[in-house]
Amino acid sequence: MPTMKLSEMRKLSVAELQKEVTARKKELMELRFQASIGQLDKNHRVRETKREIARLLTVLTEKQK
């Protein structure tokens, strides 16, 4: 999945943010699996995905307040 800018994240609704978080967590699980069996070419994607999940959760928390 392409990375999303913070401004794009803030435009999403709460439901859309939750859907994105779920999708990114699934992607992270797949990346970790690939890394464990040695098939991951782009190791930086794990770190990027974790940071993107954190950003999404931060925006989600802001919107819920």
Over the stretch 17-31, which tens digit does the pLDDT of each residue have? 999 999 999 999 999
- Token digits of residue 33: 């699996």
- Under DSSP, the state recorded for 42 is -
Structure confidence by residue, pLDDT tens digits, 30-63: 999 999 999 999 999 999 999 999 999 999 999 9
Give ∠ CA 9-11-15 in degrees, rounded to 5: 80
Tell me, which fold does domain 6-64 have in CATH? Helix Hairpins (1.10.287)
